[in-house]
Amino acid sequence: DGGITQSPKYLFRKEGQNVTLSCEQNLNHDAMYWYRQDPGQGLRLIYYSQIVNDFQKGDIAEGYSVSREKKESFPLTVTSAQKNPTAFYLCASSAGMGRGNTIYFGEGSWLTVV
């Protein structure tokens, strides 16, 4: 778990701004994920990436964008098109997708719209 670093931990966004959440892992994992969690709610998948230079939309990708230029990095941009971005964002990684590979989570980033 300690191998996944998210920053910043707290972020405030003004209306109409794009913000980028950083996620770095040193676990040599191929797969990386972004989840959104609203207060008192479950985990919803935003985007995932199985390998460098490839990523797929999850269940709630609208208003978000990602890139996977390096194996260890999977930044998430919350664009102005995301109308209700206030939430807890969790980055995660696993050795690979499926095949019983355990998903490990970062510490999370709290995003608030002001």
Partner 1 sequence: GENVEQHPSTLSVQEGDSAVIKCTYSDSASNYFPWYKQELGKRPQLIIDIRSNVGEKKDQRIAVTLNKTAKHFSLHITETQPEDSAVYFCAASLYSSASKIIFGSGTRLSIRP
Interface residues toward partner 1, by CB under 8 A: 1, 40-43, 45, 48, 50, 58, 90, 96-100, 102-108
Q: Which is nearer to partner 1, 48 or 74 (CB)?
A: 48
Residue 45: closest CA among 63, 23, 56, 60: 60
Per-residue DSSP letters for 53-64?
TEEEE-TT-TTE
Q: Which is nearer to partner 1, 51 or 81 (CB)?
A: 51
Q: Which is nearer to partner 1, 16 or 39 (CB)?
A: 39
CA 107 to chain centre: 11
In the complex, least distance from residue 50 CB atom to partner 1, rounded to whole angstroms: 6
